[in-house]
Structure formats: C-alpha cells, structure tokens
Amino acid sequence: MSEEYVVQTNPMVTINVTSQFTSFLNERRFDRGTTIAKLKNNLELITGANPGTMTLDVYSQDDKKLFTLSNDAALLGEYAVEDGMRLHVTDTSSVGINFDDTSKVEKFEITDDDYDSKRDTVRSFLKKNKMGKYNPETQAEMERLKQETALEEEKARERIKVGSRCEVTVPGQMARRGQVEFIGETEFKEGLWVGVKYDEPYGKHDGTVKGKRYFTCPQGYGSFVKAKNVECGDFPEIDDLDFEDEM
C-alpha cells in the first residue's frame, strides 16, 4: 500500500480548493467517507470542471505536491489528506485555457452619467422606489453601523497591542492562548484583523496569507481572528502538568 493511503479517524476534513479556472481559494469541509468519484461530482459544482476529465492533486500546507487522488472507487479517508491542505482541480480537457485572462474580451462600457440618465436600469428602479442605498433610512442605518464599527476598531487598537499575551475565544471552539503579532487591515478581507501566534499548532499558516506576509511564526501556529474574540492579559502558556490532578 502506497504511503498516501492512511485511514483517518476524524470523519470530516477541511481543505482549500483551487482550480485552473480561478485563483480564488475556497475552504471546504468534506466527509472522509465520500468516494473520490462522488467528491469529483461535488467539486464540479464548485469549480465547473468536468468530473470525467478531472484530476485532483493534493498539496501540503507549505504548497508542496504530495500525491494525486487517482482511484475513483477509493474513499477520501483512505488518503492522508489533513486539515489545511490544498486540493487543486484540473480539467484535462481545458488545459491551456486561462479563464482569468479577460484582456481579449470585448467589453461594453458606459459612463456613470450616461447610465444615470437611463430609465430602464436597476439604478433607476431603486431610485424611484427608494430602495437599497437610495433609501434615506437605509443610508442612515449604514452610516450608524459604519461609525459604530469605527469606534469598536479604535477601542480594539487601544486594548490590543503587538507583543501582548492573549486568549482567543471563538464560538464553538476551545479557548486558545498565544501572542499578538499583528493588528490592522489586511488585503485578504476588509476590516480590522488580529494576527495571533498560538502556543500550540492550532493555526492555519505561518503569518502569510495569499502570498503576503503579515508576521512570522512556525507553520501551523499562525491565525487571523476578529478583535472581539481576543482578550489581552496575563495569560501564561498552559502546562500539561496543570491537568495532572484532573480525571
């Protein structure tokens, strides 16, 4: 039996799905009891690739190719696929086609003023019916939420400092301790994010997300969380000996 076949105990696995059709990273959870053939059918809905000409390559968290899911009859759990790995989908019937390159596609362009003058558009409908951003009440609520978010972020910057010990509490997960390594805006998602280096390998990366480094830590120890889930204070590393009197 080749080394990529390893029976796993956890029934679910979280992996990042990419494909030749897009550079977007899609995090998905899959049942290890799913056959590779059924997995390909599920991936067709995500990537648009044809299951009949689909190739699935598995990459490690440091982006090294490990193996290919080549046996359609095998279960996903028979392969050593772990959380955080990347599954790259290739449709061999479309190799060589760059679906992200739209430079040669003829585009219809219209100025904002010309579009605004038309009467059969979505914008004119929203304006006429005072819907969406053209609704004064909606605008007022959006402005209130914007100011509220800005105030929360300002308070977060005051209480969360780089280098501080912290405890991260995310709903549905156990509390985790670590150190604040970054706080600020990021390129991967809007809003204020806190980069944490956990004391144990509970993270997803080494401080680098989508090719941009925000801080440095061992692979698998770094993670980004929202400020509301971070509490700074005197949080020493948890020692296994602290639990030796518990049963």
Of residues 116 and 223, more confidence is placed in 223
166-182 pLDDT, tens digit each: 999 988 888 999 999 99
SS3 144: helix
Q: What is the pLDDT of residue 194?
A: 96
Tokens of 50: 């044809």
Does residue 208 register a pLDDT over 80?
A: yes
Residue 212: which residues within 8 A CB-CB, separation 6 or more? Answer: 186, 187, 188
Q: What's the rounded mean pLDDT across residues 179-197?
A: 94
Please give the CATH number for the structural domain made up of 12-94. 3.10.20.90
By mean pLDDT, which of 99-103, 187-191, 194-198 is the weakest?
99-103
pLDDT digits (tens, 9 = 90+) for 37-65: 999 998 988 888 888 899 999 999 888 99
pLDDT at 218 over 90: yes
Specify the 3-state DSSP secondary structure of 184. strand
Rounded-to-integer distance, Cα 133 and Cα 127, Å = 9
pLDDT at position 1 is 41
For the beta carbon of residue 25, count every other beta carbon within 10 angstroms. Answer: 12
Torsion angle of the four alpha carbons 176, 17, 68, 2, in this order, in degrees rounded to the nearest 10:
20
> What per-residue confidence (pLDDT) applies to 126?
72
- What predicted TM-score, i.e. pTM, was given to this entire model? 0.46
> What is the domain partition of the chain in residue ranges?
12-94, 108-153, 165-236
- Residues paired with 89 in a beta bridge: 19, 56
Q: What is the pLDDT of residue 247?
A: 40
Mapping DSSP to helix (H, G, I), strand (E, B) and coil, where does residue 187 land? Answer: coil
When pLDDT is cut at 50, 70 and 90, the band that residue 9 belongs to is low
Per the listing, tokens 């599920």 go with 42
Q: Looking at the domain covering 165-236, what would its CATH class be? A: mainly beta
**What would the mean pLDDT of 216-244 be, rounded to a whole number?**
84
Calculate mean pLDDT across residues 135-155.
Answer: 84
3-state secondary structure 32-88: CCCEHHHHHHHHHHHHCCCHHHEEEEEECCCCCEEEECCCCCCEHHHECCCCCCEEE
Q: Note the helical H segments in the chain.
A: 36-47, 112-117, 122-128, 136-159
Above pLDDT 90, what percent of the chain? Answer: 49
Average pLDDT, the chain: 83
Residue pLDDT, tens place only, 65-113: 999 999 999 999 899 999 989 999 998 876 545 545 555 556 667 777 7
Comparison of pLDDT for 128 and 201, the residue scoring more: 201
Distance between CA 181 and CA 216 in Å, rounded?
8
* 238 band by pLDDT with thresholds 50, 70 and 90: confident
Predicted confidence at residue 132, as pLDDT, reads 65
Which residues, listed in sequence order, are joined to residue 185 by a DSSP beta bridge?
A: 192
**Alpha carbon distance, N-terminus to C-terminus of the chain:** 39
Asked if 49 and 19 touch (Cβ cutoff 8 Å), the reply is yes
* Helix, strand, or coil (residue 14): strand
